Amino acid sequence: MLNKQAQKDHEKLSILIIRITCLCWLPAKLLGWRMFTTYRAFPTAPVFKIFDQFPSVVHTLIFVASILFMASLLIIPKYKPVLYGLLIIEFISCLLDQNRLQPWNYLYCFILLTTIINADKQKLGTIAFTFILAATYFYSGLGKLNFGFLHAIWGNMLLHSFLNIPVATGRETWLQYCGLLIGFFELTAGVGLLFLKTRKIAAALLILMHLFILVFLGPFGLNYNRIVWPWNFAMIIYLYLIFLKFEQVPFSFRTVFTSWNNLVFVFLGILPALNFAGWWDNYLSSGVYSGKLPQMIICVKDTSKCRELKRFCKTGTHQFCDGSNAINLQYWSMAETQMAPYPEIRAYEILQHKLEAKYPAAGLTFVYINPGQ
């Protein structure tokens, strides 16, 4: 039996985690409001075609309800009907459009689920939170051990764009392969969170990593992908609260296998491993900034037949379009909705079919680039 003080600490930690989650979730939702509604040119990619029959007002009402539920949880963080309600409407929202299933949205939903599952077992909840973070960092680091990460993220974004190192210098073998250290660091730190002797140093190092990411992507760096800034703040606070502020709880896989915590173990611990065989989605496997995400380029023959897309076109910028107008799907999505498209070929194919049907005279052709294959 836990003593009363330990029970109070676990209860306080659970409440703080809910509040921090909602506090960082809210600005991301508000910033990406176009993706969570249908007030955009960027098409939706529902999980099932029947969901295309839902009118725009349904998307809007779900978005508004989500915001209200999050705001409510800041005041009444343990009120179960609101916790259940938020989890359910987020699930429905992602069914209506896969593009909403961002890594941070996915993680926050599992934070809520863990809170609900362990509402009367706060110690188990703390152990489950530990596993969520450890698994997230482990698979995120493992996913970075590829040439796509070395070229696109390490070489182009970090060395060249952020540190202003010449491209030729960044391609020197010794410097290029130094990028693998990032992946090894992250997965090792993730494992370190599971052990009492290493978790504090691992948490401190991961906090420093997130601070660097905020500088790297923030207004003093690339000023890019603002939607993930609150997520990095949330991860810093999670690490501080769970591993540095409160008394440590030994990790136990037996606990993670307890009752409904099996869902957390399966979805965050087992299924992401299938991503390396192409059997599980990238964003559900902590695959953001992995350098192996598929891309889609849209070549546009006649922009006068798709005027609302013209502002996303760039001329002569892509080799696959033979000098004609090209739309990089990533750029279009980020420019219009502040969020990246869901990086799966099946989602891209849904977008392709919708664009072909909507702009039949624009002469659209589609090119898929899959670095992961």
Look at the chain and count its residues: 373
Helix axes of 103-117 and 4-31: crossing angle, nearest 10 degrees: 150
- Which has the minimum average pLDDT: 199-203, 264-268, 322-326, 365-369? 322-326
Query: Which has more pLDDT, 193 or 315?
Result: 193
Residue 36 CA to residue 29 CA, distance in Å, equals 8
Per the CB < 8 A criterion, the answer to whether 291 and 152 are in contact is yes
Mean pLDDT of 143-153: 95
Mean pLDDT of 123-128: 88
Q: pLDDT grade, residue 317 (50/70/90)? A: low
Q: What is the pTM of this model?
A: 0.95
Per the CB < 8 A criterion, the answer to whether 114 and 132 are in contact is yes
Q: What is the pLDDT of residue 10?
A: 77
Q: Tens digits of per-residue pLDDT, 257-291?
A: 777 889 999 999 999 999 999 999 999 999 999 99
Q: What is the pLDDT of residue 373?
A: 59
Average per-residue pLDDT for the chain: 93
Q: What is the pLDDT of residue 123?
A: 82
Q: Tokens for 252?
A: 């136990």
Express as a percent the part of the chain with pLDDT over 90.
84
Q: What is the phi-psi region of residue 254: left when phi exceeds 0, alpha when psi lies from -120 to 50, beta otherwise?
A: alpha
Mean pLDDT of 138-162: 96
Residue 1 above 70 pLDDT?
no
Residue 9 above 80 pLDDT?
no
Residue 347 CA to residue 24 CA, distance in Å, equals 27
Q: Tens digits of per-residue pLDDT, 214-230?
A: 999 999 999 999 999 99
Q: What is the pLDDT of residue 7?
A: 76
- The ranges assigned to domains in the chain are 4-39+47-285, 295-369
Mean pLDDT of 47-52: 96
Q: What is the DSSP code string of 34-55?
A: HHHSS-SSSPP--SSGGGGGS-
Mean pLDDT of 26-46: 97
Q: pLDDT grade, residue 372 (50/70/90)? A: low
Q: What is the pLDDT of residue 111?
A: 96
The helix (H) or strand (E) run that includes residue 367 is strand 364-369
